[in-house]
Amino acid sequence: MDKWARYRTARRIRDSDGYKIFEIYKEPYDPAFLSFANDEGAVGIHILHPKDPVERGYWYLQDWSHVIRCRIVDYENRSLAALQHLSRLTSLSLEVESKSELDFDWFPALTDLGMTWHEKRKNVLQVEGLRELALFYFKPKPLTSEPRLTNVQELGLFSANFSSVEMFRASQELRKIRLADCRKFEDIASLGLFPKLEHIWIQGFKRLDNLSQFNDFPSLKKLSIEGYSRHVPEGVFRPDLDVRFCM
């Protein structure tokens, strides 16, 4: 008899980008989860709307120190302290309401990060190994040190409160940038700081007064603009640039 039959029926093992992930969905943690995940060869954990007591945080993560991928979706104010045990993480996704401190020095191997911004997330912009970074509700305050995101190739800023990407000028390997609903962003010229930038995707910009300035980025191959309703004159873009508009 298969001792894990009920877990298999619940389809707790998911495939994510070719990795086996154990998923906890709207339920309290069971210590048997770890043994099942190990037997199945899972290398990551997804925690989606957990039902454990809020005051216990994610206490069980101390036993999951081997995982390299983690995703948490949780709208309770739980402590994130237990994540310090996940020092092998290469991918982390956090959609959380937690107001507790989280230090990204805990994750020296991290290459892929997506998260809701909070002022108590320390050293996010100092993770030199990051290749992909997505920040939601990014509200940068005066920085005590320059960002060191020297290896980032893809950057996404969503519903962010900033006017220029100049703070990311150390990211000279940047190939793609996504900007959505960044109402204060006006400095299109600052995108020229990234000599290898190939793809710009922007959404929610009602005013783009000088579309021709995108021609000034020599490596740019693709420009995607969503939610732009103004007339675009013919010939405003260089012919080799793949430009796509979408309402």
Which residue in 7, 86, 93 sits closest to 47, CA to CA? 93
DSSP 158: E
Q: Is residue 34 part of a domain?
A: yes
Which one of 82, 97, 112 terminates a domain?
A: 97
Which one of 59, 81, 97 terminates a domain?
A: 97
Q: Is residue 19 part of a domain?
A: yes
Would you say residue 139 has pLDDT above 90?
Answer: no
Quote the pLDDT of residue 162.
81
Rounded distance between C-alpha atoms, residue 144 and residue 15, angstroms: 40
Share of the chain above pLDDT 90, in %: 60
Which one of 97, 131, 159 terminates a domain?
A: 97
Are residue 67 and residue 148 in the same domain, yes or no?
no
Which residue in 36, 39, 31, 41 sits closest to 10, CA to CA? 36
Would you say residue 50 has pLDDT above 80?
Answer: yes
DSSP structure string for 8-68: HHTT-EEEETTEEEEEEESS---THHHHHHHHTT--EEEEES--S-GGGTTGGGGG-TT-S
Mean pLDDT of all residues belonging to the chain:
88
Are residue 85 and residue 128 in the same domain, yes or no?
no
In tens, the pLDDT along 179-233 reads 998 878 878 888 999 999 999 998 877 666 677 888 888 899 999 888 766 666 6
Out of 118-122, 172-176, 192-196, least confident range: 118-122
- Per the structure, the count of domains in the chain is 2
Would you say residue 125 has pLDDT above 50?
Answer: yes
Q: Is residue 107 part of a domain?
A: no
Are residue 158 and residue 222 in the same domain, yes or no?
yes
Q: Is residue 110 part of a domain?
A: no
What average pLDDT does the segment 12-39 reach? 92
Q: Is residue 113 part of a domain?
A: no
Quote the pLDDT of residue 205.
72
Are residue 234 and residue 170 in the same domain, yes or no?
yes
Are residue 135 and residue 173 in the same domain, yes or no?
yes
Q: Scanning the structure block, which residue is given the tokens 């000034």?
A: 216
Would you say residue 25 has pLDDT above 60?
Answer: yes
Are residue 85 and residue 168 in the same domain, yes or no?
no
Domain range for 225 is 123-247
Q: Is residue 5 part of a domain?
A: yes
Are residue 55 and residue 93 in the same domain, yes or no?
yes
Q: Is residue 106 part of a domain?
A: no
What average pLDDT does the segment 9-34 reach? 87
What average pLDDT does the segment 129-139 reach? 93
Rounded distance between C-alpha atoms, residue 226 and residue 147, angstroms: 29
CATH code of residue 213:
3.80.10.10
Are residue 70 and residue 159 in the same domain, yes or no?
no
Q: Is residue 243 part of a domain?
A: yes
Are residue 27 and residue 130 in the same domain, yes or no?
no
Q: What phi and psi values does residue 9 have, to the nearest 5 degrees? A: -60, -35
Are residue 127 and residue 230 in the same domain, yes or no?
yes
Quote the pLDDT of residue 1.
44
Q: Per the structure block, which two tokens stand in for 142?
A: 């005066």
Are residue 64 and residue 148 in the same domain, yes or no?
no
Quote the pLDDT of residue 87.
97
What is the value of pTM for the model shown? 0.90
Are residue 130 and residue 87 in the same domain, yes or no?
no
